[in-house]
A and B are shown apart, each in its own frame.
Chain A
Amino acid sequence: MRHVVLGTAVGRAEGPEKVTGAARYAGDHAPAGCAHAWPVAATVPRGRVTAVDAAAALALPGVLAVLTPHNAPRLGPSDDPTLQVLQDAGVPHRGWYVALAVAETPEAARAAASAVVVTYEAAGHDVGFRADHPGAYTPEEANGGHPAHREHGDPDAALAAAAVRVDCSYAVAPLHNHPMEPHAATALWDEAGGHLTVYDSSQGSGPVRAALASLFGLPEDRVTVVSEHVGGGFGCKGTPRPHVVLAVMAARHTGRPVTLALPRRHLPAVVGHRAPTLHRVRLGARSDGTLTALTHEVTTHTSRVREFVEQAAVPGRVMYAVPDSRTTHRVVALDVPTPSWMRAPGEAPGMYALESAMDELADALGIDPVELRVRNEPATEPDSGRPFSSRHLVECLREGADRFGWASLRTPRREGTVLCGTGVAAATYPVLISPSTARAHALADGRFHVEVNATDIGTGARTVLAQVAADALGVPLDAVTVAVGHTGLPSASLAGGSSGTGSWGWAVHDACAALTARMAGRHGPLPGGGLSASADTAGSAGQKSPYSRHAFGAHFADVRVDTVTGEVRVARLLGVFAAGRILNPVTARSQFVGAMVMGVGMALTEHSSVDPVHGDFAESDLASYHVPVHADVPDIEAHWIDEHDKHLNPMGSKGIGEIGIVGTAAAIGNAFRHATGRRLRSLPLTPDRVLDVLA
C-alpha cells in the first residue's frame, strides 16, 4: 500500500519540545563552568580606537578578561570583513565592536563592559543617504549575482511616445529583521582534544563551521557547529555574524566555555539590515493598458566595510511584458552598518515600488488594477526570453479577486470618520536551489533515519523533510526520523532564499530513492547495522535550468484609515500563491501568513532611520522599532492553487518562505489610495504622514 504523506497536513515534528520549553536554542546551553561575554560597541560614528582602559573593568568581581583590538587573538582570513572583529583600531561605523568583556556571570560581564573606557580619535562621517549623493555609483552586481543594470530597446523613447505615463518615486526606510531570538553562541574549546564545539543561532551551521575554521586556523573536522533550534532569522542569521567569532575568541582566550547573547539593541548595527531604497519607476502604456515602457531605477546604501546592493529593480525583469525597459541599481557607500539579507531582499521593496506604480497606472488609465496586470502577462521571462517553468499569476489574481469579493468592493466607503478601501498587488519570488547531500538509513527494527544538515529556523524543515523521506521510501511518516542542525551530518545548504525544502528535500529524496533501490535487491532481514545510502545533488540541483523559475502570488488588502488619528488598520488580508506543490499545508500556511504579517509591519509600522549626527539607527530596540503585534494583525487568509511543475525538483516544490511579504505592502498602500484618494509614496504609512497627506 502506498502511503501518501507528501502534501498532507502534518503537525510540526518538534512541536512538543517547543510548547514545553524543552527545545534548546544556542543561548540555552550551559556547559559546566560556562562564562559569559558582553560586547562593547563603538560610540563614535567613524574613527579609530586610540586606547582601551580595561583596568576598572578587570577590577570588578568575577571579571575574567577584556579583549580589545590590542590583545585579542589574531584571526585568519574570512570572506566577510564584518567577521574581522577586534583586529585593528578602525571604527567603520557606530556600533562596531571595539572590546569584549568576559566574566563569571552575565551581570558581571555587563558591568565590566560598561566599565571599559575606550578613547577614540573621531573622524568625519557621512551617513546621509540620498538619491543624488555624489558618491553614488553603479555596482557590477546586485545581491544574488544579478547584473546591476539591464536595458532592452529604447525605454526613454518609448516613454516619450507612450499614450499614458506615470513617473513616480517611492521610498522604503531601513528595516530590521529582529528575529525573536537575538544572535547567541555558546563556544566550548576542548584544549586537550583540540576540538571546538559551538552552539550557534544560525541559518546554516555549515558556513559557520567553514568561517570559524578559517578564522581560527583549524581544519574543519575539528570544528562542530550545532544549530538545532533557531529562534527565527529572516536573513540576518544567514551567514556567520560577529557574535560567534567573539564567543570563540573568548573561549580560546579564557580556556572556559563562553556564552555570548547579543543585547537586542546591538542587533541593528552588527547583524545586517534591509538597506533603505529610493525608487523611480516610470511606466508607459497604450490606452488599452498594454505596457510599452518600464524603467525602475533604484538607489540604495551600503557600508564602507562590504558592498551589499539590495536588488530591488530585479522584479521588473520578471513581471510584465514590456519591450523597452531599463532596470538599474546605484549604491552609495556610507559610514553605516553593513546591510544584508532581510526576507525577500530585492523583491520586497522592489515590488512595493513596481506594484504601487502599476496601481497608479491603472488609475491613470481607468482600468481595473487586476485587469491591468492580466493584460500585461508575458509569454516568456521579459529579461531573459526563457520560458517559465510554470507561471500562474493570472490564476492567483483571478482566484484572489473571487475569494476577496474584489468586484463588489471597488467603491471606497466612509464609515463615520473612517475611510475604507481595497487594494491589490502581485508578488514574485525566484526558485533558488543549492546542491546538498543527505544519508538515509534503514534500521534493523524496520524504521528509517535520515540525516541532512538542514536548519529549521521555524520553517517546518524537519517535518517536511520527514514527509519527503517517507514518500520516497513508501513508508508511513511515523517510521521516519530526521536529524538536522549539526555539522556532523551530511553537508547541506543554508536556510535562505526560500531554497531549503527544494535543496535539502532533493538530496533527501535521492538518498531515500537510492536506499529503496538497495533494499529492493535484497531478500531476508537487514543486517544488524541496517543499510544506508547517500546522495549528493551537485550534478543535478547544481545545474542551471533552461527555464525561468519563479513563484507568483496576488495580495488583496482591505484597509481602514482613521481621518482623525491618521491611523491605518488592515481589516482583511488575502494572499493566493502559485508555488509549485505544497508539501505540507499546515506549515506552508504558517509561512505564507507569517510573511504577510511581516508585510503588514513593512507597510504600517516598521521604520528605522540613521541619526545624522551620531551615525546610529535611532530605532534600535523593540520599543522604538515597531514590529506588528497581535492587535495589528487581522484574520489573514492564505490560499494556493494546485501547480504542477516538472522543472523544479523531485517534489515539484517552489520556495514559500518569502513570497508572502512581497506584495503585501503595495496592496496595503494601494488600498490606502483607494480609501483616501491620496497616495503616500514612502513607507510606512504612519499617522504623521497620513495626516499630512489628508490635510
Chain B
Amino acid sequence: MADGSDPRPDPGAGAVPPGPGGAAAPPASRVTLKVNGTEHDLRLDHRVTLLDALRGHLLLTGAKKGCDHGQCGACTVLADGRRVNSCLLLAVTQDGADITTVEGLGSTAGDLHPLQRAFLERDAFQCGFCTPGQLCSAVGAIAEAAAGHPSHATGADALTDPGPVTLTAEEVRERMSGNLCRCGAYPRIVDAVRDVTA
C-alpha cells in the first residue's frame, strides 16, 4: 500500500505506510492462510483479526462483523475443521491454518451444501446477516456431535458413551446458542440443522 494504490488482494496488504509524523509502520508478518482450498500469502499488520483478513484482504465478505467481540457468532468460520469466532483470532496466529468460510461451503455456481439447501427450504433466515455464521457453526456443531463431544443438553448416560451424540432439537439449540439471530429464525434454523442430520 506504500504507493497509495489499493493493494487488495495482493500480498503486502495491511502494511500501513508511515504516518505524517514519520511514525514507524506497525509490526507486520507474512502469513499463509489456506482459505476454501486456495492458499494465500499475506503480509498482515499484527492487529488484523482473522475476520478482517478474510473480509478486508481476501474480499470474502460472507463472514460478518456483528459485534467484533465474540458475542454474536456472525463471524463464525471453520479453522482446521473447528468452528471459531474469527473476530477473536488474530490472523497471524492462524499461519498455515485451513479456513472454510460460507463461500467455501457451496455456491450457487456449483453445488450448495446440504445445510445451505435446508436453510433455503426451511426459510431459516430473514435479514441473512447471521446466516453465514449460523451455517458454519452448524457444520462445526454437527461434526462435534459426530465426534461424541457432549453439550450441556447431553444426557448423563451419553456422557460415558464415546459414540456420536444424537442431535435432538434441544441439543441443536444448546450447541447453536453462540450464534445470535435478531430476526428470530431460531425454530427454523433448528429444523434445518435436524433435516441434514436426521
Contact = CB atoms under 8 A, between A and B. Distances in A.
Given A16-B108, A635-B187, A21 B126 contact: no
B72 A180 contact: yes
Interface of A: 11-12, 14-25, 27-28, 30, 32-34, 58-63, 103-108, 111, 178-182, 229-232, 234, 261, 263-264, 457-460, 586-587, 589-591, 593-598, 621-623, 627-631, 633, 635-636
Contacts of B56: 30, 105-106
Nearest to B189: A630
Contact of B45 (A30, A107, A231, A593): A107
Given A19-B119, A630-B172, A107 B47 contact: yes
Interface residues of B, number: 77
Contacts of B126: 232, 458-460, 590-591, 594
A61 B101 CA distance: 31
A630 B173 contact: yes
A180 B74 contact: yes
B67 A58 contact: no
16 contacts: A20-B108, A30-B56, A33-B4, A33-B5, A58-B20, A60-B23, A62-B17, A104-B1, A229-B127, A231-B64, A232-B126, A591-B126, A593-B185, A597-B184, A628-B186, A631-B174
B15 to A, nearest CB: 9
Nearest to A257: B6
Given A24-B61, A630-B174, A633-B173, A32 B130 contact: no
B23 A630 contact: no
Given A18-B131, A180-B127, 14 more contacts: A12-B120, A19-B116, A30-B8, A30-B59, A58-B21, A59-B19, A61-B16, A180-B72, A264-B69, A598-B184, A628-B184, A628-B186, A633-B184, A635-B187
Given A30-B59, A586-B123, A60 B19 contact: yes
A622 B123 contact: no
Nearest to A24: B61
A323 B69 CA distance: 54
B60 interface: yes
B146 interface: no
A232 B186 contact: no
Given A61-B16, A264-B66, A630-B177, A232 B182 contact: yes
B150 interface: no
B165 interface: no
B62 A629 contact: no
A74 B98 CA distance: 49
Contacts of B125: 12, 15, 18-19, 458
B129 A231 contact: yes
Contact of A458 (B6, B25, B127): B127
A306 to B, nearest CB: 25
B182 A178 contact: yes
Given A21-B62, A621-B71, A629 B180 contact: yes
Given A20-B112, A61-B18, A629 B64 contact: no
* SS class, residues of chain A in contact with chain B: loop
B17 A595 contact: no
A420 to B, nearest CB: 18
Nearest to A11: B120
Nearest to B121: A11
A31 B160 CA distance: 54
Which of B4, B129, B189 has its CB near the most chain A CB atoms (within 10 A)? B129
Interface in B161-198: 169, 172-174, 176-190
A60 to B, nearest CB: 5
B107 A20 contact: yes
A11 B121 CA distance: 7
Contacts of A622: 66-67, 69, 71-72, 180
Contacts of A62: 16-17, 19, 25
A60 B21 CA distance: 7
Nearest to A177: B182
B26 interface: yes
Nearest to B170: A631
B129 to A, nearest CB: 3
A105 B8 CA distance: 12
A28 B61 contact: yes
